[in-house]
Amino acid sequence: MAIAGDRVPMFKLRPYRSLLIFAGLVGIVGGLLSAHFFVEDAHLPENWGVITLVFTAVVVILLLIVAYSRFGFRHLRHHRPGYKRG
């Protein structure tokens, strides 16, 4: 990452790393649990594998939206340290 003069990138606009890691863990655990339900309960009329998979997908999508919520603040992008006013 090249630094041009006193203009440095704003690291506070990065996505939340902990939420991205947590979304990955929830996706992995939910996928494995869903796969377990698909294998074990294939003969039951209520398919817990599909329910678990849909719930996991919704939770992961919500976590990703929250993790990337900083990108919604477009008015902060042009204000960098060293930003000359006037």
Instruction: Write down the domain spans for the chain.
Output: 15-76
Residues linked to residue 7 through DSSP beta bridges, in sequence order? 4
Q: Give me the percent of the chain exceeding a pLDDT of 90.
A: 37
Residue 55 has pLDDT above 90, yes or no: yes
Residue type, 81: P
Tokens of 68: 């990337």
Give the Å distances, CA to CA, from 41 to 55, 56, 57.
17, 18, 20
Question: What is the C-alpha separation between 23 and 9, in angstroms, rounded?
Answer: 26
Question: Greater confidence, 40 or 57?
Answer: 57
User: Would you call 48 exposed, middle or buried from its count of C-beta atoms within 10 A (0-12, 13-18, 19+)?
Assistant: middle
